[in-house]
Amino acid sequence: MRNSMFITLEGIDGCGKSTQSAKLAQWLEARTGQKTVCTYEPGGWPDGQSFRDFILGGGKLAAMTELLLFLADRSEHVNRVILPALRQGYSVICERWNESTMAYQAGGHELNISHVKRIIRACNFPEPDAKIFLDISPQTAIQRINSRGGKGDKFEAEGLPFMMNVASFYRLIAEDDKQRFIRIPCDDMDESEVFSAITSRLEAHLWQSR
């Protein structure tokens, strides 16, 4: 049985990915006995921070430029972090992946979804074993982002209509790929309830079906 897993966490800004990523890594290490690497996009590779600052900084970029930058970021991330870790037998938990690109650049910034999918497919990035979608309403997300204070990145500053488009794209994408997506409706759950829901669904998804 293969022990190392590649798991992605998806959802709109404020959905709680970072909190769940750290908890999930501990659980996965205990479950598999293998080291787990937690990473994120954009910028989760050595030298990636300046790339992240550029993409998420305030400057307005054309939607296509943005798409290509996120894919360039992913390419470095795959080659420098994700594939080396998986090849060593480690598991990888990554906050955001191809589905973020579909939901934000097609859903949010209205690029044509079939073009976006085609470009992503041509990149041939590794396919996750499971994609966890933390589904919260844009209203709850915006409350959480505001309660964190600070200015947020340029995507967080786009406001409710943008978030609603991204959220509805996520739901469509998850519906289209039921085999790999695990959708957790998070609005009425606290952090530990979300975590329990993730681990029990993952247990069934990753091991009982193999």
Measured distance CA(177)–CA(131) in Å, rounded: 9
Measured distance CA(51)–CA(70) in Å, rounded: 9
C-beta closer to ligand TMP: residue 102 or 182 = 102
C-beta closer to ligand TMP: residue 35 or 154 = 154
**Site membership for ligand TMP, residue 183 (CB under 6 A):** no
**Site membership for ligand TMP, residue 21 (CB under 6 A):** no
C-beta closer to ligand TMP: residue 123 or 204 = 123
**CB distance 116 to 102 below 8 Å:** yes
**Site membership for ligand TMP, residue 100 (CB under 6 A):** yes
**Tokens read off for 165:** 């488009």
**Site membership for ligand TMP, residue 135 (CB under 6 A):** no
C-beta closer to ligand TMP: residue 147 or 209 = 147
**Site membership for ligand TMP, residue 10 (CB under 6 A):** no
How much is the CA Rg of the chain, to the nearest whole Å?
A: 16
Stretch of 35-43, 129-137, 191-199, 202-210 lying at the interface with ligand TMP (CB under 6 A): 35-43
**Site membership for ligand TMP, residue 96 (CB under 6 A):** yes
**Site membership for ligand TMP, residue 128 (CB under 6 A):** no
**Site membership for ligand TMP, residue 39 (CB under 6 A):** no
Element (H, E) at 184: strand 181-185
DSSP assignments along 50-75, one per residue: HHHHHHHSS----HHHHHHHHHHHHH
**CB distance 15 to 99 below 8 Å:** no
In angstroms, how far is the first alpha carbon of the chain from the final one? 8
Place of tokens 């906050």: 95
**Site membership for ligand TMP, residue 162 (CB under 6 A):** no
Residues that bind ligand TMP (CB under 6 A): 13, 40-42, 56, 70, 96, 100-101, 104-105, 153, 155
